[in-house]
Structure 1
Amino acid sequence: MSARQFEKRRIGQTELEITTLGLGGASLAGIFSRVPAEQARATIAHALEMGINYLDTAPQYGYGRSEHLMGDVLRERRQDAVLSSKVGRLLRPFGTDRSSPHNWVDPLPFDQVYDYSYDGIMRSHEDSIQRLGVDKIDVLYVHDIGTMTHGVEGNRPLWQQLESGGYRALRELRDGGVVKAIGLGVNEWQVLMDAMALGDWDVFLLAGRYTLLEQTSLEPFMRTCLERGSSVVIGGPFNSGVLVGGSTFNYAKAPDDVVSKVRQIEAVCREFDVPLPAAALQFPLLHPAVCNVLPGPRSPEELDGILAWWDAPIPDVLWMRLAEQGLLAPGTPIPGGTA
């Protein structure tokens, strides 16, 4: 099976160029259901063989499991792969009881400690290098800072850590050439606007907030990224399952209004003989700030299904029809103009 030629887009104003389709490493670490290690490694290897050059992982995913699995493959075939991981959580042996709730099946025997300070970020980066067993991480994201994860009061001291020292650590790593790009990886766009007040960032990994179903980040976040020269990686393009035939939205049962909107979008897709997941996967790249879409297949077979959706032709008139029916937010970029 030969590698295909993917379009590549530049990350911000860096020298990094990544394929517009990437591979997310959360599902491979066994979120909600177990993924055998050999199957996970085979999925990573298959992505590289197919020509995907952007891989994302994090210490949180399986409490170290995802980084170990990624490293196993990358040590054998790093090639031109661009690797991102995350900071903000340190892992420690948990003894007999975990203090934090989680959705990982068969995680490694660690618990997480939030630390967005200068020392915490430096240590997190070093620990990830050790778990991966590689010599470099290209992109480093601040992971899950914000009120969605920590609550309003809980987030304040953590944000103070990032503001008073964490951002400086990231700048030192980037300016010293240790990493090539820095950003944040979160599920809420509002915290990314706050981050822009701290300084300059190359790329943001935003999950679920700019999808075929939801464009809440369009204004002012996506516009500001274009103005600041920052790129956006879109995680969760299927909104945790509801856009690929599932019943979950934001990792919980989809509410009725969401289900209704999905049915309306699906009806338009059916009119043009386009699978709904194909439209969901390809939609984010219509925005010029987006450099990559990052799904999380659990097997080589799931990845092949994603590649089939990726290759599915989508006529421009489909996007226009969605806009005409009010199913895209005003101002959403579509071929020939905006919604």
Structure 2
Amino acid sequence: MTELEYTTFGKTGLKVSKLGLGGAPLAGDFGITDEQEVQRMIHAAIDGGINFIDTAPLYGNGESERRIGQAIVDRRDRVVLATKAARSDMRYDYETTIRSVEMSLHRLQTDWIDILQIHDVESQPYELVVSETIPALEKLRQDGKIRFLGVTTRNLELLRKYMATEMFDSIQFYTRYMLLDHTAKDETIPLAKELNMGVINGSVLGMGILADAPAPFLREDIQADGLARMEQLAFLRKPGPKGLIEPAMRFSLGNPDVHVTLTGVSTLAALQTNMSYCDGNGLASEEVEKVYALFQEQPLFD
């Protein structure tokens, strides 16, 4: 069994596995899942050394949180648990934020959440988040229901605006530091390092594009652009099917300034494969530089 690599999650001081379990696929949002298989997979992840789990009320309309809560009820002290508030189809006012977190606590069967992140802040007015969402979360922190605050969005310019407030302990972006799009590397990741913030990297397989299984909701032009970029990454491809998954995982896991790389899987076999890449061996430096030379300042997703 692979001995996983760990790091310190910014100024929180938390020791976290560099590979984290992402909750989005656990409740069927990306295809049918077997609940018993999901339970076995979460147990195997924790027993294998993964101690970071990230989810959100939006995933499966709360079902992801419920399944995670069921799986960790007797392992809670072994998990750094991250979830989000609220949902992008809601208004993040004070009362809604409080209610969202209380419902998450209930579904997760826990008294506290380690990292509570404001979910996809691009969906809300900045003034509302500052005047109502953040004060609600600070109240919950004072009450001992959450420990640290985070913020998530794919909009890097907006993310840096929130980071500059220095109100947050962590950030999460997705599809912004991967083989097909590394636009977070020049400003966002260095700023997080300067501010000593935890960094969570999501969707390192580019919504499935790098796994040769693009998500069905992706626009055709994005899929076509992604496939064209993959051709330029042929020097990294491993033999056999889905040959870019391993280099994609190692690209993120090998960056010392990315504290947690999320793996979104729903089967035990896929989990075990991805865990084998969290062994401290990233891509060779010359390979990373070659990747950086491609698609410079060219985001794949809007």
Q: TM-score range by the shorter chain?
A: 0.7 to 0.9
Within 5 Å, give how 1:3-152 maps onto structure 2: 4-89=2-87, 113-146=89-122, 150=123
With a CA cutoff of 8 Å and minimum separation of 6, indicate the structure with the bigger relative contact order.
2
Q: Give 1:309 shift.
A: 4.1
Structure 1 residue aligned with 2:300: none
Residues 31-52 of structure 1: CA distance to partner in whole angstroms, max 9, x if unpaired? 1311121121111111112110
The SS at the match of 1:210 is coil
Deviation of 1:120 after TM superposition, in Å, equals 2.0
- Structure 2: runs of 5 or more not aligned: 298-302
Structure-1 residue corresponding to 2:288: 319
**283-292 or 232-241: bigger deviation:** 283-292
Give, in whole Å, the separation in 2 of the partners of 1:227 and 1:309: 27
- Greater alpha carbon shift after TM alignment, 61-70 vs 277-286: 277-286
Instruction: Tell me if the contact between 2:8 and 2:14 (Cα under 8 Å) persists in the aligned partners.
Output: yes
User: Does 1:257 find its partner at 2:255?
Assistant: no
- TM-score, structure 2 length as denominator? 0.87
Distance 1:268-1:43 versus aligned 2 partners, 3 A rule: closer
Q: Work out the CA distance in 2 between the residues paired with 1:113 and 1:213.
A: 29
For residues 121-161 of structure 1, the C-alpha deviation after alignment (integer angstroms, 9 at most, x for no partner) is: 22211111111111211110101220xxx4xxxx43xx332
Change (3 A) 1:239 1:250: farther
Cα distance in 1 for residues equivalent to 2:142 and 2:165: 16
Tell me if the contact between 1:268 and 1:322 (Cα under 8 Å) persists in the aligned partners: no
Compare CA radii of gyration and give the structure with the larger one: 1
Whole-angstrom CA distance in 1 between matches of 2:145 and 2:157 = 28
Residue 71 (structure 1) shift: 0.6
Structure 1 segments, 4+ long, off by >6 Å, are none
Question: Which AA in structure 2 matches 1:19?
Answer: S
Cα contact 2:236–2:247 (8 A) shared by 1:
no
Question: Does structure 2 conserve the Cα–Cα contact (< 8 Å) formed by 1:230 and 1:289?
Answer: no
Deviations 1:60-79, CA, capped at 9 Å, x for gaps: 11111011100101112224
Conservation of the 8 A alpha-carbon contact between 2:209 and 2:223: no
TM-score, normalised to structure 1's length? 0.78
- How many residues are aligned here? 293
Maintained 8 Å contact 1:11/1:202 = no
What does residue 276 of structure 1 align with?
Answer: 244
Question: CA 1:199 to 1:320, structure 2 compared with 1: closer, same or farther past 3 Å?
Answer: closer
Q: Deviations over 1:243-301 (max 9, x none)?
A: 11224498444443321111111334459xx9421111121244443101001111111
Structure 1 residues without counterparts, runs of 5 or longer: 90-111, 331-339
Residue aligned with 1:209, SS: coil
Corresponding residue for 2:196?
229
* Aligned with residue 213 of structure 2, among 218, 227, 246: 246
1:302 counterpart (250, 270, 295): 270
- For 2:269, the aligned partner's letter is E
User: Could you tell me how far apart the structure 2 residues matched to 1:228 and 1:167 are?
Assistant: 19
Aligned AA for 2:120? D
Which residue is 1:266 aligned to?
234
Change (3 A) 1:230 1:31: same
- The question of whether the paired residues in 2 share the 8 Å contact of 1:208 and 1:236 is answered with yes
Contact preservation (8 Å) 1:242, 1:249: no
SS in 2 for 1:256: helix
Distance 1:269 1:310, change over 3 A: farther
* Paired residues of 1:268 and 1:321 also in contact (CA < 8 A): no
